[in-house]
Structure 1
């Protein structure tokens, strides 16, 4: 098993570029990585309180995916349960974080925490449930453990 080594950020500007690039649909597709997903979510939760993420984030991500040639269907693109689970993790992380810390340092700490790992949702969901069409289309409750 290889050690988890996320790509870390060196500036707040890099985080803002990803968050605003997602919103404006100008972020290059190759920049939409796992780390970018969490950076954008952290930016949106912490700095874009004008956006109701619970209702608007699915559309934001779907529109972005389509703008870069992606498809949102039963096997690819937007995944409701994974998005909601990571958004929950970002909110939990930020609730305990120092709000005066630079944004990129917060994102890096998140990425290095258990909540930042790609497999974090699998602590709560079986692979069968998490990767089901139902979970992609709608939020489904965990089947292994309750979300913290």
Structure 2
């Protein structure tokens, strides 16, 4: 269902509409995955997939969360078998956190489920010209999201 109101083209109006649209897309991704893993847990798993083994402080900094919050997330992921800890090779006071094969498989499955569902929606709901417009908007959204 689409909203019949014209979009407010001010930065504040765009931000409001973008926030709503992104929230609805996130719901679509979550529904497609259906695996019970929270967004914060999935974010950490995807970060480890991209960065490789990392310390808790590195992950907390990258995720922009407090180390205590990250430790709680990592503990739950470890309990589920998605990550494992090992001694840091040069600093025995720290530990490296890495994906397990199970965690790597979950990242792949979640990525495929989410991408597949959104690709399906793009193909079903957007005309070719709208698909091109959306493709042109993606780099702009990335710029907004970057540090």
The two structures share one fold, judged by TM-score above 0.5: no
Structure (1/2) with the larger strand percentage: 2
Normalized per residue, which structure has more helix?
Answer: 2
* Structure with bigger gyration radius: 2
| Structure with more relative contact order (C-alpha pairs < 8 Å, separation 6 or more) | 1
